[in-house]
Structure 1
Amino acid sequence: MQKSKHYLLIETLMKRIRMDDSETPTIQQEFYRLEAGLSGEQKLKRLLTDFYFKSDFHIFYNFECKNSNGFTHQMDALLLTPNFLLIIEVKQISGTLFYKPSLHEFFRVQDQLNENFPNPFDQAYRHQLFLEHQLKTWQLSIPVYHIVVLANYRAKLDESLNNFPIMHMSGIPRFIEKLYKQHPIPRAHLTFLQKQFEQLYEPLPPRRTIEKHRLRNGVLCKQCDYVNEMYYKQGYFICPVCRAKSKEALYETLLQYRILVSPRISNKAFREFFNIPCIHIASKLLAKAALEKHGTNKGTYYIIPERFD
């Protein structure tokens, strides 16, 4: 399952934010929400992997793009078939869910507490209108639908949600079958559709940034859940607490710097972030990482790739 850039930033920030930072509890709560959402999308992927489609198909998970006005769209899943398109919004919500359609108010009641949520129908309908417009620009006439699915089977749907496009995830196969019956005739070639959407796809930047001084420096021990700082000796980063030895910690820490700070890093910035005061050891580690090098002398900097193979 492909993680968004925002998810990666929050996930990495959880390991690096200072515990005394005023926003630490907020960031933790956001990470738990994102983690629950990703879990729901993974459940959907498992369900659809076991479904027998009546045509060729392609599914984009976490489809992101911008419209012609520069506004963003993020869809948990986008199902392409030659017969129809389906936008699937996954919600990992518990409690009893209610809807006031005249007010477009979507809320839940749990433990005698009322809590409002962004209206998922308005969100999904906005995506639907965008896709319908986009298909017209490609001179295609394909029906587009949206559905909100609940990944938490304990959630209850109040009668106020009758006749609205929302259901528990287990109902998705029957819903797709119904769409095939409604639209038995193909309207486009799947290969063309897929190519157009691949060109439209654009990973969105994180929805927030973090100042460098609010991050913990040092190479943090993965075995200790990033609590303890490791030291470098004879080619390894070593944890003084659990005694774990790692060469991979070099690459993991570089990726953390890329996600939280910048894809560009200098020798000085490397020493500060890794807590390695020796310029020669820093140069040796940068050479070991085989980063793309630019500039000369004090203007030298390195490019950290999105991943290390």
Structure 2
Amino acid sequence: MSKIELKPPVIIKKLEVLLKRSSPTSHKRPQILESYRRFKAGFSGEQSLKYFYRYLPKDGLLFLPGLRIMHDEYYFQMDQLIVTPTFLLILEIKNLAGHLYFDDKVKQMIRTLDGKRECFEDPIEQVKRQSYHLNQILKQCKFPAIPIERLVVITNPSTIVEFSPSYKEAFARVIKSAQLHHKFTLFQQKYQTSILSSKEMKKISKQLFKLHDAHDPDVCDLFQMDKHELLNGVLCPKCDQPFTMYYKGANWWCLNCPHKSKIAHIEALKDYALLISPTITNRECKYFLHLPSTSITTHLLKALILPYTGSTKSRSYNLLPLLNLK
């Protein structure tokens, strides 16, 4: 079994920073918060499945999470793809609370929660399209034809799942997390002829990751927010009062609590890279961090040893290396 590395999608961090940097009175905040909670819940659902993956065979499996690939001018994304020698398995993972009803008449999923009914696209249709696009990609890359199975996994253990009586496919494709091992065993019994060698499995993995294009949207554009409306300044890491730090005597000092720091500006520059631009000039940095002088700004930027372009006056620093810092 390959090591499963689940990293939070960058949009979660971007939305978290956008909430931090948007005005508390902004009418966009409820929309941003809802999107943030949805992405967080989705990622939590994917993480929770790691517990059940351990009941699958220890050898001969490759896990390829979060693949997003362009095909026919549009992207398709798979929450999890499991590669075995005899079949491929796509998992569409849903972390939804409440009561879910799958209706085959109009191909929809209806969620009832706290007396409110919501309509979602049928995830069975979603995973069916993913299977089609994946099959086409594998054909184009001239890999051996291999069966592709698909499941919709409901990860919230308290969720009630119900199907319209005639929706036979839903009975077969929609499962709770604890059923994954049983379903996987049935697929193993169904497909017993090895099609992919270990080498071919690795080639498929390498090719799909080569085609992978992570979802990394400009969240300000996504919510039609003017970047000039964002709150600038440096946030104190020790108290709840935002953007109360000022720079003096080679330290950042908080106006609200006794905390001081030499590196508090780094987190603010990460925010800038995530929301505004991956590059920053001396002038932009001075304004964003509320620094008292150009010379101090230059000193702080140079101390970070960031890649840069341009001469001294027009120098632009690349902030992306900061995003790899913990």
With normalisation by structure 2, the TM-score equals: 0.87
> Using the alignment, how far apart are the partners of 1:196 and 1:152 within structure 2?
33
5 Å matches for 1:234-245? Answer: 234-245=249-260
Aligned to 2:151: 147
Matched AA of 1:241: N
CA pair 243-78 structure 1, distance change in 2 beyond 3 A: farther
Work out which of the residue numbers 188, 204, 213 in structure 2 matches 1:202: 213
Aligned to 2:125: 122
> Using the alignment, how far apart are the partners of 1:226 and 1:78 within structure 2?
43
CA pair 242-124 structure 1, distance change in 2 beyond 3 A: farther
* Unaligned 5+ runs, structure 1: none
CA pair 109-282 structure 1, distance change in 2 beyond 3 A: same
Matched AA of 2:22: I
Matched AA of 2:232: N
CA deviations over 1:164-197 (Å, ceiling 9, x no partner) = 1111111111111111111122211321121111
* Paired residue secondary structure (2:90): strand
Work out which of the residue numbers 7, 12, 17 in structure 2 matches 1:12: 17
CA apart distance, 1:221: 2.0
Matched AA of 1:206: P
Aligned to 1:100: 103
- Structure 1 runs of 4+ aligned residues shifted over 6 Å read none
CA apart distance, 1:133: 0.6
CA deviations over 1:235-275 (Å, ceiling 9, x no partner) = 33232223333344222221111110111100111111111
Is the 2:65–2:78 contact (alpha carbons within 8 Å) kept by the matching residues of 1? yes
Work out which of the residue numbers 25, 28, 36 in structure 2 matches 1:31: 36
For the aligned residues, what is the CA RMSD? Answer: 2.0
Aligned to 2:135: 132
Is the 1:40–1:92 contact (alpha carbons within 8 Å) kept by the matching residues of 2? yes
Is the 1:55–1:81 contact (alpha carbons within 8 Å) kept by the matching residues of 2? no
Is the 2:15–2:36 contact (alpha carbons within 8 Å) kept by the matching residues of 1? yes
Is the 2:56–2:184 contact (alpha carbons within 8 Å) kept by the matching residues of 1? no
Whether 1:61 aligns to 2:65 is yes
* Unaligned 5+ runs, structure 2: 1-5
CA pair 97-248 structure 1, distance change in 2 beyond 3 A: same
Identity among equivalent pairs (%): 28
Aligned to 2:314: 299
Whether 1:182 aligns to 2:190 is yes
Matched AA of 2:161: L
Whether 1:191 aligns to 2:202 is yes
- How many aligned positions are there? 307
Is the 1:56–1:190 contact (alpha carbons within 8 Å) kept by the matching residues of 2? no
CA pair 20-111 structure 1, distance change in 2 beyond 3 A: closer
CA apart distance, 1:4: 2.2
Aligned to 2:247: 232
Aligned to 2:3: none
Matched AA of 2:52: L
CA apart distance, 1:225: 4.8
Q: Which range is displaced more, 222-231 or 30-39?
A: 222-231
CA apart distance, 1:308: 4.1
CA pair 280-39 structure 1, distance change in 2 beyond 3 A: same
> Using the alignment, how far apart are the partners of 1:74 and 1:226 within structure 2?
39
* Paired residue secondary structure (1:186): coil
CA deviations over 1:45-97 (Å, ceiling 9, x no partner) = 2321x224164222122222222x33112222121222211111111111111
With normalisation by structure 1, the TM-score equals: 0.92
> Using the alignment, how far apart are the partners of 2:190 and 2:101 within structure 1?
29
CA pair 112-145 structure 1, distance change in 2 beyond 3 A: same
5 Å matches for 1:249-288? Answer: 249-288=264-303
Work out which of the residue numbers 51, 57, 62 in structure 1 matches 2:55: 51
